[in-house]
A and B are shown apart, each in its own frame.
Chain A
Amino acid sequence: MRDFLPIGEWAEKTINFILENDHGVLENLGDVVGEMTALTEQLLQLVPDWLLAGIFVAVGFWRLGWKFALISAAAFVVIIGTGFWPATMVTLALIIAATLISLLVGIPLGIAAALNRRINYFLRPVLDFMQTMPAFVYLIPAAMVFGLGRVPAVLATVIFAMPPVVRLTALGIRQVNKEQVEAGITFGCTPLQVLLKIQIPGALPSIMAGINQTIMMALSMVIIASMVGGGGLGNNVLASIQRLDIGLGFESGLAVVLLAIILDRLTESFGVRKEERIARRQGGQGQES
């Protein structure tokens, strides 16, 4: 025998054991996640393509100015014109579902890690592990537990995309000026008041940066997750690889890149203050008061 450490076998046994003994917890979780994703998808498809694209362009104009509005308008013309709009919406729904779950779990975890040394101590190696494993490694246990489809795709994405928001939330809270926290305590804040009135507002730019990174990682993972039946643009990419279809590969790849650019710039714009945004827009001249 070559392998004297059948770790793979153990992993399989562990997963089977969990499945048999979790009293349906995982199944319920899967149902909730599946419902949530399906609902998001339906909502996105309910809105006509031109309207949704228009909303994105308008938000882009509001946050980043007319240049970005033009670029994103052109991007949507390409996506709609190449016929990838429906697939893009499926992908977007997966991203939204995965991001929401990541934030719902990740931000409280980040806060806990910032406030409690012990939690931080345990969370650190877990986060390192989550981030350094190759992305598709999560697909196998996810598919084993939840079968094929949206649910394993979203959950594998959550695991892959959550670390940045946890880390940056924790970092942001720890970096809040020490005297500001002391000021809060001095004026009689309870620990909860310190958190809500000082630490979280102070950490907001960092938390927003974490959200941005989580969204970007979710996007890359959602494409890969088409291997377990996530659907969306990932399916087209996968098909183009399998069939060596250069045209399809190029078009679907382009849709992914355009979506990535729009999501990245838009979410990033929510992390910086208004005047910084204006300053950047004006080519760094800024406005001196």
Chain B
Amino acid sequence: MQEKIVVKDLYKIFGPKPDQAMQMLRSGKDKDQIVRETGMVVGVQKANLHINAGEIFVIMGLSGSGKSTLIRLLNRLIEPSSGQVLVDGQDVASMDPRELIKLRRRDMAMVFQSFALLPHLTVLANAAFGLEVSGVPRKEREARAMKVLEQVGLGAYANRYPRELSGGMQQRAGLARALAVDPSLMLMDEAFSALDPLKRTEMQDLLLDLQREQQRTIIFVSHDLDEACRIGNRIAIMEGGRIVQIGTPDEIIRNPADEYVRAFFNGVDVNKYLSAKDIADADAVPVFKAHGDFANGFHDAIERLRAVRRNYGFVVDGERKLVGTVSIDSMIRSLESGSTELAHALLTDLPPVNGNLNLRELICRIVKMPYPLPVIEPQGQYIGAVTQTILLKKMAKEELSHA
């Protein structure tokens, strides 16, 4: 696989005398000691990374661990104190300003936590900003910007101003601005952290869709474990400016490098011995009998779902084996096509979870699936449903009993 970014021994010290702090680091002092003795802050220390072309690489860590600093060193929004950042083999850290500007215009884009749209420009002009900066004529840049706005579902809002948009829509515009320059490299610093959970999943889906269409290299800073598992091909964990572990989500969950990383995935490990059937909730999702509940068509089932404000229900047969899922939509659709056959409304693309699946794996499945999942016995009998909420509640309870 081709390496898009290589980071070699990268350091960033905030303060007047970086060399002195580097010396202290070499002699074994840590971040806290250096702040105490000199007032200088170690932002990033001894970072080494290889990021492949086309992968989504997530950087995680607690607040102040240096995530934002590291991502800003990649496009030199922050000047490195020492080390190299190679993008396609070119060293960003030692480029002269002209080359750097050229590289940024051609190959890089960034999405920000606060969206950072320009309030005095329309959504269209914001999306076209990167092209405007590099001198693309108005007609052409607006056409290209319009195309990406449509891609992110903002076509109708092109002539609005950012303040007229909701947070989620503003971040779509931020994403459009980045996509419009067609960069091979996208940097995203907590791009979705300011959004509510629903909007966040929506944006993650959008990002994954876009990524399927066109493979870009994406560096994504996040402090959200679910997010990292969901979108990351690989994850790097940072602590105190150091990168303490790099690996796929699975690798890191299975073999945390140290206590810090373990603590990060705390909820997961504590629940190591639980499996899906232990937390499945039989009442979370309505259950219909395939023979009986649909005797009079779909109306009764639709009414029942509406009464409990659910969109889905699971269907079981006479032996309580799971047959499939029905949704209000699917039932209405088959009514509209004149059919009252259950088979017509049955959705079978929601894969059931085996009751013996352990929680670690369940977590990685459920973060990719925002709906309730049916849990079944190995023989196929329906046990109950798990949702993200049920899972979180369980984990929180374990957490408390261990504290």
Across-interface contacts of A289 in B (CB, < 8 A): 164
Residues from 184 to 233 in A contacting B, C-beta threshold 8 Å: 184-190, 193, 197-198, 201-202, 204
Answer whether A188 and B102 are a contact pair too, CB < 8 Å, given A183-B110, A193-B133: yes
Known pairs A197-B133, A202-B119; A182 contacts B101 (CB<8 A)? no
B113 proximal to A (CB < 8 A): yes
Cβ–Cβ contact B164 & A177, under 8 A: no
Determine the distance from Cα of A285 to Cα of B181 in the docked complex, in whole angstroms: 41
Q: List 29 A-B contacts (CB under 8 A).
A: A179-B112, A179-B113, A180-B116, A182-B77, A182-B110, A182-B112, A182-B116, A183-B118, A185-B104, A186-B104, A186-B108, A186-B110, A187-B109, A187-B110, A187-B130, A187-B133, A187-B177, A188-B101, A188-B106, A188-B133, A188-B134, A189-B133, A197-B129, A197-B132, A197-B133, A198-B118, A202-B119, A204-B120, A289-B164
Cα A186 to Cα B129 with chains together (Å) = 11
**Which residues of B105-158 are within 8 A (CB) of A?**
105-106, 108-110, 112-120, 129-130, 132-134
Q: Across the two chains, which residue of chain A brings its CB closest to B113?
A: A179
CB within 8 A of A186: which of B106, B109, B134, B164? B109
What distance in Å separates the Cβ of B314 from its nearest Cβ neighbour in chain A?
41
- Complex Cα distance, B146 from A68, in Å, reads 42
Alpha-carbon distance A197/B135, docked complex (angstroms): 13
Whole-angstrom distance between the alpha carbons of A160 and B177 in the complex? 45
Residue of B nearest to A200 (CB): B120
Q: How far is the CA of A280 from the CA of B72 in the complex (A)?
A: 41
Q: What number of B residues sit within 8 Å (CB to CB) of A?
A: 29
Interface flag for B75 (CB, 8 Å): yes
With A186-B77, A187-B104, A289-B164: A177-B116 Cβ-Cβ less than 8 Å? yes
Q: Evaluate whether A190 and B114 lie within 8 angstroms (CB atoms) in the complex, with A182-B77, A197-B133, A202-B119 already known.
A: no
| B313 → chain A closest CB, angstroms | 38
Number of interface residues of A (CB under 8 A): 19
- Across the A-B interface, give the 4 residue pairs with the lowest CB-CB distance, nearest first: A188-B105, A179-B116, A187-B130, A188-B104
Q: Is the CB of A201 within 8 A of B109?
A: no
Alpha-carbon gap, A177 to B106, bound state (A): 25
Q: Specify which chain B residues have a CB less than 8 angstroms from the CB of A201 in the assembled complex.
A: 118, 120
* Nearest B residue to A190, CB-CB: B101
Set of chain A residues within 8 Å of B177, measured between Cβ atoms: 183, 187
A189 and B133 alpha carbons, distance in the complex (Å): 6
In the bound complex, residues from chain B placing their C-beta under 8 Å from that of A193 are 133
Q: Given contact pairs A179-B113, A179-B114, A187-B130, enumerate 7 new A-B contacts (beta carbons under 8 Å).
A: A177-B114, A182-B112, A183-B118, A187-B133, A197-B118, A197-B129, A197-B132
> In the complex where A177-B114, A182-B77, A198-B118 touch, is A187 in contact with B105 (Cβ < 8 A)?
yes
CB-CB nearest in chain B for A181: B116
Docked complex Cα distance between A202 and B117 (Å): 11
Most A CB within 10 A of own CB, among B102, B109, B132, B133? B133
Which of A180, A187, A197, A202 is B181 in contact with, Cβ under 8 Å? Answer: A187
For A204, list chain B residues within 8 Å (CB): 120
Q: Tell me the smallest distance from the CB of B365 to a CB of chain A, in Å.
A: 35
B77 touches A187 (CB 8 A): no
Encode A10-45 as 1/0 by CB contact (under 8 A) with B.
000000000000000000000000000000000000
Query: Do the beta carbons of B77 and A185 come within 8 Å of each other?
Result: yes
What's the least CB distance linking A18 to chain B, in Å? Answer: 40
Q: How far is the CA of A187 from the CA of B179 in the complex (A)?
A: 11
- Interchain CA distance A177-B164 in the complex, whole Å: 18
CB within 8 Å of B: which A98-137 residues:
none
Which A-chain residue is minimally distant from B119 (CB atoms)? A202
**Chain A nearest Cβ from B221, distance in angstroms:** 13
Residues of chain B within 8 A of A189, CB atoms compared: 101, 133
Instruction: Please give, as numbers and ranges, the residues of chain A lying within 8 Å of B119 by CB-CB distance.
Output: 202
Give bound CA distance, A184 to B114, whole Å: 14
Minimal Cβ-Cβ distance residue in B for A193: B133
Could you say which residues of chain A place their CB within 8 Å of the CB of B106? 188
Q: State the CA gap A10–B109 with chains docked (Å).
A: 60
B window 68-114: CB within 8 A of A: 72, 75, 77, 101-102, 104-106, 108-110, 112-114
- Complex contact A187–B129 (CB within 8 A): yes
Interface set, chain A 158-180, CB cutoff 8 A to B: 177, 179-180
B121, closest chain A residue (CB)? A201
Complex CA gap A177/B72 in Å reads 16
Query: A183 is contacted by which of B72, B112, B120, B132 (Cβ under 8 Å)?
Result: B112
Chain B residues near A188 (CB-CB < 8 A): 101-102, 104-106, 130, 133-134
Q: Which of B72, B101, B106 has the most CB of A within 10 A?
A: B101
> Which residues of chain A are near B112, meaning CB under 8 Å?
179, 182-183
Give the distance in Å from the alpha carbon of A142 to the alpha carbon of B317 in the complex.
Answer: 100
B-chain residues with CB within 8 Å of residue A177 when the two chains form the complex: 114, 116
Contacts of B104 in A (CB 8 A): 185-188
How far, in Å, is B151 (CB) from chain A's closest CB?
Answer: 18
When the two chains form their complex, are residues A183 and B116 in contact, meaning their CB atoms are under 8 A apart?
yes
Q: How far is the CB of B17 from chain A (nearest CB, A)?
A: 18
CA distance A193 to B104 in the complex (A): 14
Q: How far is the CA of A227 from the CA of B164 in the complex (A)?
A: 53
- Please report the C-alpha to C-alpha distance between residue A131 and residue B102 in the assembled complex, in whole angstroms: 45
Chain A min CB distance to B73 (Å) = 13
A111 to B399, CA, bound (A): 53
Which residue of chain B has the shortest Cβ distance to A187 in the bound complex?
A: B130
> What 1/0 flags go to B48-71 for Cβ under 8 Å of A?
000000000000000000000000
A204–B120 Cα gap in the complex (Å)? 10
Q: Which residues of A contact B187 (CB under 8 A)?
A: 186
In the bound complex, how far is the Cα of B114 from the Cα of A180, in angstroms? 9
Query: In the complex the two chains form, is B77's CB within 8 Å of A180's CB?
Result: no
